[in-house]
Structures are given as C-alpha cells and as structure tokens.
Structure 1
Amino acid sequence: FTWIKLRVGDGTDCRFWTDNWSSFGSLQTYLLRNSTSRLGIPATATLSEINEDGNWLLPPARSEELLNLQVYLTELTLTAGKDRYEWVLEDKPLTKFVTGDVYTKLKGETQTLPWTKLVWIKGGVPKHSFLTWLFALDRCPTRDRLLRWGLQTDSNCLLCNMADESRDHLYFLCPFAWSLWTLVAQRCRLVSDRRWDHCLTQLQSLSGNKYVRRVTLLGWQSTVYWIWSERNNRLHRNSYRTVDALFRLLDRQIRDKFLSHRDHNPLLASKLMQIWLPSD
C-alpha cells in the first residue's frame, strides 16, 4: 500500500479515507485509530467532495493528527487533471512496474557475496551457472558430504583415485581436473591458482578487457560443469573419457555459444571467438 501513491489531480477519483494520497498514508488509519467518529465525512467521500471553491470542508482540529492534515491541505490545490496512481519505490515515482525492483524492496537489504558476479554472468550457459552456484555454496553431493550425511560410500575421487573426493579436491587439486582447467585457462590467457578459494579470489580480481573476462568466466564455468559431468559419468555409467576428449566437448560447446551471437551481434561473436581460438 505504501508504494502505491495516488497523485492528486481534480480529486474526483481520490477516496479521502482509503487512498494513499497524502504523506500520512491511509487517513482511515491515521485519523481514526483512536476514534470511531468520521468527522462528518462519509466513508465513500472523494477528495473533491470535501473541497468547495478551494476551501476544505473539515471540522475544527481537535487532535494533533487532524491539525497536521489541515496544515498539509493548505499546500494542496486541486487541478483540472485526472487523479492517477503511481508506483513509488525509494521515494522515486516509476514510469512502469518492474517486478525485480519490487522483489528487491520486499526482501530488504542483503549482503551480496563477492563471488556472485562470477556465477551469474552475462551470456552464460544457465545450467553451468546453476551448477557453479551450487559448488560456490558447497551444496553438491560430493563424496565427503555423502559420508557426513551418514551414507556408506567410497571416499576416493572418481577422477584420479588418489585422494578423498571433495569440492576443493575436484577444483582443482585433482590432477585430472587440473589438466582440463589448465587447457581452458591457457585459452583464456590466465595463469590460474589451483586452490578453489584462491581461484575464486583470482577470478574476482580480473580486470582489463571485458571480452577476455567474459570468455574466462564462461570457460571456468564450463570446466566446472564438464568435470562434474565426467565424475557422474564414471559413477553412474562406468564410462570414462580422457582429458583431451572432455576438452573437445567443452571447446565445441563454447564455440557454439559464441556462434549463437552471429545473427544479432556478429561483432561480439567475432571478438569472443578470436579470444578463445588458439593463437597458433
């Protein structure tokens, strides 16, 4: 209610008691919270009906609230224009309703985690972004988490069989995963750190060419996705792919993503592809 303001024009559509037309909100709440008397003003009265030749037909003020309203009305003049409703968020009238703005206002101020800009990237692959978000929160069912839940399972990493499987091991202490990420990082002109938290910090500090940053984050998310895909492939299908085979799949997917921009933005497609393609 507080965000739906009625901008007063001629007052013919403005309901005196219930519309949010004054700085006091609903006058029914403001004036009648300690009283049952409507001051001789009908419940259905409009603002224009209590104005006669520029004079406001209100009884003498017998409360602080009514006095405040009378002072407010001395600065209000009815015009020939129509009354109209407006969305007002953060004291700024909006020309259109935006669901995202209202949602942000409803949920209130929240702390933005520093890695969110690495996850929800422009032009990203939705399933890659979603999986990366889960891993950033450490919510994927890696074997260390399954064991903590009390499930009986082998703890070994399915990719290297050299250490216990965890989020931080998969990205990128695992030699198999590190080999794949190294190939991708080379394409992105990045000398990457091997530890998950250090890698996140490094990616957050990327600066310079925005196209290089976009390609790098897309490549990183694709690596996260294909490593997890290979892990699940080995667990559920007993199917194994080499690092080179996995990189070819990743490479083809990224190229297809860039080529999808050709029709509406050929310059963008060209710039991204030039960054991604090997220099030799």
Structure 2
Amino acid sequence: MRGEVYTWIKMRVGNGVECRFWTDNWSLLGSLQDHFASTLASRQGIPPMAATLANLNRSGNWLLPRARSEAMIQVQVALTTMVLQEGIEDSYEWIVEGVASGKYKTSQVYWELKGEEAKVPWTKVVWTKRGIPKHSFLVWLVVLNRCPTRDRLLAWGLSVDSNCLLCNLEPESRDHLFFRCPFSMRVWSEVGRRCSFTSSPSWQDTINRLMALTGDRHANRLILLCWQAVIYFLWRERNQRLHSQRFQSSDMIISSLDRLIRDKILSYRSSSPSLSSSLMQRWFNTLSIPP
C-alpha cells in the first residue's frame, strides 16, 4: 500500500528548508524520483537526492539547468507556480478523500484502505442500538456461521460426535441448534410469546422477518433484545454441557433470560425513562413466570 498511502501525505511548502525535492509529495507530479522513472538524476543535471527546495532557490530564482527532457519541462512548469515564503516552515498534512488535515486519524485511514463495501442487509438486527455488546458479537458470528458447531468441526476433519448437545436427537448445526432443536424451540416459544414474536424453525425465515420489522420501535427493540439474548443463552448452555458437564433445563434458562431482560430494561431508566417504562410494560403484559 506504500504507493497509495504516499499520495495522502502532502507537503505544504513554506520556506522549502525541509521539503525534499526528489521524494516529498510537494507538487501535482507526486514523487519526482518516480516521475523521472529510470532516467538518472545525474543525466538531468539536478542535485543529489538530499536536495531541498531551499537548496535550489536563490533570491526567488530557481537554480535548475536547462530542461533536457519532457519530464524536466513539467517539473520546471510546476516550480514557476511556487514561491517560497520566508519565516513559514514546511509541514506535512494528510489528504484523505480530498479533505486536508494536520492530524492523523487511524479510523479515517483504515476505512480508506479497506475501501467501500456493500452493507449487509442484516446489520440492524445484529448491531442493535442499546443492545448488549457481547450478545451482538456472538449473533454476528452466528449469522456468519462462524461458531464451532459440530458439523463444522467434522468438516475440519476432527473426530467428534455429530449429535446436538441440547437434544441429542439430530446432527448439530447452526440452524438445528438455534431453531429446530426441541430444547431450543421450548425457549424460543416462551420468550417469543413474551415479546410478541412467533419463532420459526427456519433460520433464514427468522432473519428475514427480523429484517422486515416495522411499526412500534419499542416493540421491535424488545424483540431484537430477546432474540439476541436467546441465542447467547443457548450457545452458553451448549458450551457448558460440552466443557463443564453442567446441565440446565429449558425452564431454568427461561428464568435466567427473564431476569436478564428485566435488568437490561431497568438500565435504560436513567437515560430514557419512557423507553424503560414502555419495554417493561410490554414484558410484563404476558408474564407467566413467577417473579
């Protein structure tokens, strides 16, 4: 990326003392070392690589030999438009996306290097406003199917049991583990009833319905909060069974989810009392779990 980044670092010429004639990006021609390509500087009669603009200027006149090539003519034309300013130091500035700045911004350069990418349609159902960060991160991995479910482990050549760790009835995959598994469906059905969202055994159908949510934004926020929490708790239960031999019933998970959702809704109270009140009323309207 060196050649591309070079064009973003522009030398603002003042007195010319620090501006290197050959290598700094001080003119529209860019690097003069590259501009002359394979033509040696000595053949142009130009001073060595360490020369600065100030070295080549005396009392406002440019001390350059007669042009011997088209490339040299272009350089001399560029110099005729430039006047060194005594008392003003040379300085570098960043020019990214056509905007000049005296400060380096990591984020700005990162996105420029990364380039433009199409936004995926499921962005808003993963990176939710006021969501729980660790839940959003896990859901992002699940949507991309990057979690080490047993079908993926087998595809990597590992010798593991293929059965789902939650129901032990069918091969474990992302779609089965989170939506088709009877254990998971028990959790989904109860939590979905509480947030007025009917779960589906189809992963793609569920994603499509979440992306198409319209209407009451508070109701939609509660749905997305619950959806991400269910995925997080199911994945945690799966891993606890695998690594710690700890088993919880679906009712225990539902109870833990209920407490988490309540606590999260209460956390909105200081910043948005109306939001907290609205979400809590919706969550308690269909309450069936003892407090």
TM-score (norm 1): 0.82
Counterpart amino acid of residue 44 in structure 1:
A
Q: 1:99 aligns with which of 60, 84, 106?
A: 106
Distance 2:217 2:15 in 1: 52
Quick check: 1:132–1:224 contact (8 Å CA) kept in 2?
yes
Q: Which residue of 2 aligns with 1:183?
A: 190
Shift of 1:123: 4.1
Distance 2:196 2:85 in 1: 64
Shift of 1:225: 1.0
Distance 1:140 1:82 in 2: 55
Shift of 1:153: 4.1
2:67 counterpart of 1:61: yes
Distance 1:11 1:210 in 2: 59
Q: Which residue of 1 aligns with 2:251?
A: 244
Q: Which residue of 1 aligns with 2:76?
A: 70
Quick check: 1:146–1:153 contact (8 Å CA) kept in 2?
yes
Q: Which residue of 2 aligns with 1:158?
A: 165
Distance 1:135 1:84 in 2: 48
2:74 counterpart of 1:45: no
> Alpha carbons of 1:35 and 1:148: their partners in 2 closer, same or farther (altered >3 Å)?
closer
Quick check: 1:211–1:272 contact (8 Å CA) kept in 2?
no
Q: Which residue of 2 aligns with 1:275?
A: 279
2:212 counterpart of 1:205: yes
How is 1:218-257 mapped onto 2 (pairs within 5 angstroms)? 218-257=225-264
Q: 1:173 aligns with which of 177, 180, 183?
A: 180
Distance 1:112 1:45 in 2: 48
Quick check: 1:215–1:275 contact (8 Å CA) kept in 2?
yes
Q: Which residue of 2 aligns with 1:27?
A: 32
Quick check: 1:187–1:275 contact (8 Å CA) kept in 2?
no
Quick check: 1:170–1:177 contact (8 Å CA) kept in 2?
yes
Q: Deviations over 1:152-180 (max 9, x none)?
A: 44433332344332111122122321232
Determine what percentage of the aligned residue pairs are the same residue.
49
Give 5+ residue unaligned stretches, structure 1.
none
Secondary structure, aligned partner of 2:100: strand
Give 5+ residue unaligned stretches, structure 2.
1-5, 286-291
Q: Would you say how many aligned residue pairs link Structure 1 and Structure 2?
A: 277
Q: Deviations over 1:204-250 (max 9, x none)?
A: 33345655544433322221110111222333444332333212222
Counterpart amino acid of residue 43 in structure 1:
M
> Alpha carbons of 1:171 and 1:273: their partners in 2 closer, same or farther (altered >3 Å)?
farther
Secondary structure, aligned partner of 1:267: coil
Distance 1:120 1:64 in 2: 55
2:123 counterpart of 1:131: no
Distance 2:68 2:262 in 1: 75
Q: 1:11 aligns with which of 12, 16, 22?
A: 16
